Amino acid sequence: MPEFDVIVVGAGPAGSTAARELAAAGARVLLLDRAAFPRYKPCGGGIPLRTARLLPFPLDSVVEDRVSLLDVSYRGRWRFLRDSGEPFAYMVMRDRFDALLVEHARAAGAEFRPGTRVEEAGEDSRGVFVRSGSFRARGRFLIGADGANSRVARAVGLGRGCDECAAWELELSIPADRWRARAIIELGYSPWGYGWLFPKASGASVGLLLPAGASKSLRAEGERLLGRLGLEHAEVAIAQGHKIRLRRQGVPIASERVALAGDAAGMADAFVEEGIAYAIESGRLAAKAALRALGTSGTMRPYESDVDREIQPELDAARTIAYMFYGVLRRAPGPWLTAARYAPFLWHAFFTVMRGESTYAREVERVPLLPSIARRLMERRCRNCPRRRSSSGSLGCTAGRA
Ligand SMILES: Cc1cc2nc3c(=O)[nH]c(=O)nc-3n(C[C@H](O)[C@H](O)[C@H](O)COP(=O)(O)OP(=O)(O)OC[C@H]3O[C@@H](n4cnc5c(N)ncnc54)[C@H](O)[C@@H]3O)c2cc1C
């Protein structure tokens, strides 16, 4: 049976980053994915500049468009345009983007085995093991980067207790020149959520994000969104739903020999539900933790506090902003959209975060009262919610329609 220092399950941005960093440091790494690559992944493919900066290689070969304009409306009403002056995000298709990340992991020395669906995984006194059909491998440590429905997380009992939301993605084959350099954001979904259109080289990705409790209305809402965009007759190449998981501090993501990274660990933010940046960052932290453990005969447990220190504050700040943004939007959509339209500092802050010149945490710190106001707004929203927590409402909770 092949033996490795680290086995990484899942070759999305979290897994391929972990594998690349480990292999580059000289570790023997096995990277497994159930899919043959390149593979489709339901995703808007929005890569803010701050995400691109986390990678030590250029993305030019997979960039389909560069976006500098935000076209915002409330279900097509109160529409306005914000220009960031320079690109704040790249647009990619995930099949090509993820394949590029895997190529870099392989070039660094990771052994990649596509078409390997892990059915069993675990840890014992000798190390970790995985099984896929008749294929078996053992290692000293395991990184579960197998996405929002992580088999590794279930097998080892980690990652329980994340909030969830539901997303729907359509890939349209349309002449997208009309939307070049422009991302469309449509607000106005109850109790929160948004629709988007992101331009690609030969089409567009259109999607919708709602609380998990509202997932049944995704399709009908999605069709109405297409109608408002004038795309009801567009050729749909792919349509797929998927969930997004949102971690709070305290959700366990590491054991003696196993760590979860990316979506498996709930590393997505509650404001725009972006996850690629946090997948890359957590993949990198998991690799560091494994290298440390390999060098000291230690464990993967410190990884959880690394995430709590380096990533969780940003996820918490994004949640505060989301409470505030969607809380006010629900109560007073017209005034809020009007204020947002004429408040350039809001968009300036957003663009600087997207470009990596600021962070959500820094922006929240500028308004000392924001966390308590945001919490009160969501507490009220969640008064009738069966999953209400004592101190804060749950954005993204399955009962989010309260
Ligand atoms: C509709 C939608 C739109 C989104 N838009 C954006 C966006 O525009 N920008 C952004 O930053 N984020 C976006 N996100 C979030 C983003 O897609 C994720 O956060 C990101 O893909 C997480 O990366 P990951 O590596 O953790 O997991 P994934 O990218 O999901 O990769 C997991 C990998 O594990 C593999 N796998 C799963 N199970 C097994 C198994 N049993 N054995 C072996 N392999 C397995 C899968 O094949 C997959 O390749 C969006 C999400 C959705 C659902």
Q: Where are the domains of the chain?
A: 3-43+94-161+247-313, 64-90+163-246
For residue 42, say if its preceding peptide bond is cis, omega within 30 degrees of 0.
Answer: no
How do residues 87-131 score in pLDDT, each as one tens digit?
999 999 999 999 999 999 999 999 999 999 999 999 998 999 999
- What is residue 1's predicted lDDT score, i.e. its pLDDT? 79
How do residues 131-180 score in pLDDT, each as one tens digit?
999 999 999 999 999 999 999 999 999 999 999 999 999 999 988 788 99
The CA 369 to ligand 1 mean position distance, Å, reads: 34
Average pLDDT value over all residues in the chain: 91
Sign of CA dihedral 278, 387, 146, 205: negative
Ligand 1 lined by 208 (C-beta under 6 Å): no
Specify the pTM.
0.94
Mutation choice for ligand 1 from 37, 41, 200, CB with most ligand atoms inside 8 A: 41
How do residues 333-366 score in pLDDT, each as one tens digit?
988 888 888 888 888 999 999 999 999 999 988 8
As to burial, measured by CB atoms within 10 angstroms (0-12 exposed, 13-18 middle, 19+ buried), residue 373 is middle
8-22, 101-115, 226-240 — which is least confidently predicted? 226-240
| DSSP state string for 84-132 | -SS--EEE--HHHHHHHHHHHHHHHT-EEE-S----EEEEETTEEEEEE
- Residue 297 pLDDT grade (very low, low, confident, very high; cuts 50, 70, 90): confident
- What is residue 376's predicted lDDT score, i.e. its pLDDT? 67
Question: What atom in ligand 1 is closest to the CA of residue 244?
Answer: 53
| DSSP state string for 120-166 | EEEEETTEEEEEETTEEEEEEEEEE---TT-HHHHHHT-STT-EEEE
The CA 283 to ligand 1 mean position distance, Å, reads: 13
What letter does residue 254 receive in the DSSP assignment?
B
Mutation choice for ligand 1 from 146, 149, 168, 253, CB with most ligand atoms inside 8 A: 146
Nearest CA to ligand 1 atom 17: 43
Nearest CA to ligand 1 atom 50: 43
Ligand 1 lined by 33 (C-beta under 6 Å): yes
Protein fold of 3-43+94-161+247-313:
FAD/NAD(P)-binding domain (3.50.50)
CA 155/CA 171 separation, integer angstroms: 33
What is the dotted CATH code of the domain comprising 64-90+163-246? 3.30.9.10
CA 160/CA 183 separation, integer angstroms: 34
Nearest CA to ligand 1 atom 13: 274
CA 311/CA 344 separation, integer angstroms: 27
The CA 148 to ligand 1 mean position distance, Å, reads: 7
With a pLDDT cut of 90, the percent of the chain lying above it is 75
- What is residue 374's predicted lDDT score, i.e. its pLDDT? 67
How do residues 363-382 score in pLDDT, each as one tens digit?
988 876 666 666 666 655 55
Nearest CA to ligand 1 atom 16: 275
The CA 301 to ligand 1 mean position distance, Å, reads: 24
- Largest interatomic CA distance in the chain: 64
Q: How many CA atoms lie within 13 A of 388 on its CB side?
A: 15
